[in-house]
Amino acid sequence: MTIASIDLGTNTILLLIAKLDFKNKKIHVIFEDQKIPRIGEGLKPGSPISKNKEKRLLDILEFYKNLANHYQCEHILVTATNAFRIASNSDYLVKKISKMFNLKVNIISGEEEAELTFLGCTSEIELDTNVAVIDIGGGSTEIVLGKNRKIIASKSLPLGVVSLTENYFSNDPPNEEEILVIRSTINKELQNLIGKKLKFDKIIAVADTPTTLACIKKGTISYNEALIEGDLLTQSDLENFINQLAVMNSVEIKNKFKSVVDGREDVLLAGTMLLFEVMNFFKATELVVSTKGVRYGAIYELFF
């Protein structure tokens, strides 16, 4: 069976087309793609996703629906996260997507997002230790604590790379006071984290921030999933990235790191700081980078 799974994120929309191996409960990737329309740009709880962002969203879904048809996908899963959770026009968009493309959009809660992320990035690896999975999104960050693929606790934090950047960085690059405020904000939210006293042997980091940093560390100028899946980022790596990014404006970041940062050059610093503070919170010295997440978890939940 061939499946398409689409993750409608606040910053990024991701597509996975895969063949399912039911006997071994595995996903064999056929094709993957991502676009960065940033549908959550300027979005506040109770406000609408803008008409401009709506058009970009619909254009991407049309493109992905055509790709799914090309690969003869039997099912197309569409999972929406924080932007759809908080937007006032979510119901309207869900109905419009259904009418235009015959696609059902599943808007999941922060807790469900955390669980799907955990499922997506742990289902095909051996886990016999305590693990924390971190998914840094555009509008929220999901943290799941588990052992032997069983979730012990999960939490969705109202911290994302887009929301943090828009709310706390007025300058480009940010000044020292803005850096201090964002650190304080992150740490205040982390103090409320469920299971904060539990000890974890491994941290797995999902989504754009860790995968982009891993690509930069490898010296590649474009995204390469095969190159970075399972790669390690150390606390020292993140500290070095923060020191570099904090003194560069968005144009300089894009010029230096090329297409691998396209669409996220202005939010990469906030994401790196968030990842660094989470590592500090867990007293971790390194983390494992995963290119998998909600779009994988949605398949595992439904079919395996």
User: Does the N-terminal peptide bond of residue 174 adopt cis geometry, omega within 30 degrees of 0?
Assistant: no
| Span 3-18, average pLDDT | 97
Topology of domain 126-292 in CATH is Nucleotidyltransferase; domain 5 (3.30.420)
| Span 29-45, average pLDDT | 95
At residue 197, the pLDDT reads 61
Summarize pLDDT for 104-155 with one digit per residue, the tens. 999 999 989 989 999 999 887 766 778 889 999 999 999 998 887 788 888 8
At residue 193, the pLDDT reads 75
**How far apart (Å, rounded) are the C-alpha atoms in residues 179 and 164?**
11
Are 298 and 118 in contact, with CB atoms under 8 Å apart? no
| Span 37-54, average pLDDT | 96
Are 205 and 289 in contact, with CB atoms under 8 Å apart? yes
**How far apart (Å, rounded) are the C-alpha atoms in residues 274 and 209?**
9
Number of other CB atoms surrounding residue 167 within 10 Å: 15
Predicted confidence band of residue 264 (pLDDT cuts 50, 70, 90): very high
Lowest model confidence (mean pLDDT) among 126-135, 163-172, 215-224, 282-291? 126-135
At residue 212, the pLDDT reads 96
Of the two residues 66 and 281, the one the predictor is more confident about is: 66
| Span 276-292, average pLDDT | 92
At residue 153, the pLDDT reads 86
Of the two residues 47 and 195, the one the predictor is more confident about is: 47
At residue 224, the pLDDT reads 82
Predicted confidence band of residue 223 (pLDDT cuts 50, 70, 90): confident
Domain boundaries, the chain: 2-107, 126-292
At residue 286, the pLDDT reads 95
Predicted confidence band of residue 293 (pLDDT cuts 50, 70, 90): very high
2-107 and 126-292: identical CATH topology: yes
| Span 13-23, average pLDDT | 96
Predicted confidence band of residue 195 (pLDDT cuts 50, 70, 90): low
Type of residue at 252:
E
pTM for the complete prediction?
0.91
Residue 260 gets which letter from DSSP?
G
At residue 140, the pLDDT reads 93
- Does the pLDDT value for residue 250 go beyond 80? yes
At residue 101, the pLDDT reads 98
Topology of domain 2-107 in CATH is Nucleotidyltransferase; domain 5 (3.30.420)
What is the average pLDDT value for the chain, to the nearest integer?
93
Nearest Cα neighbor of 2 from 22, 14, 119 is 22
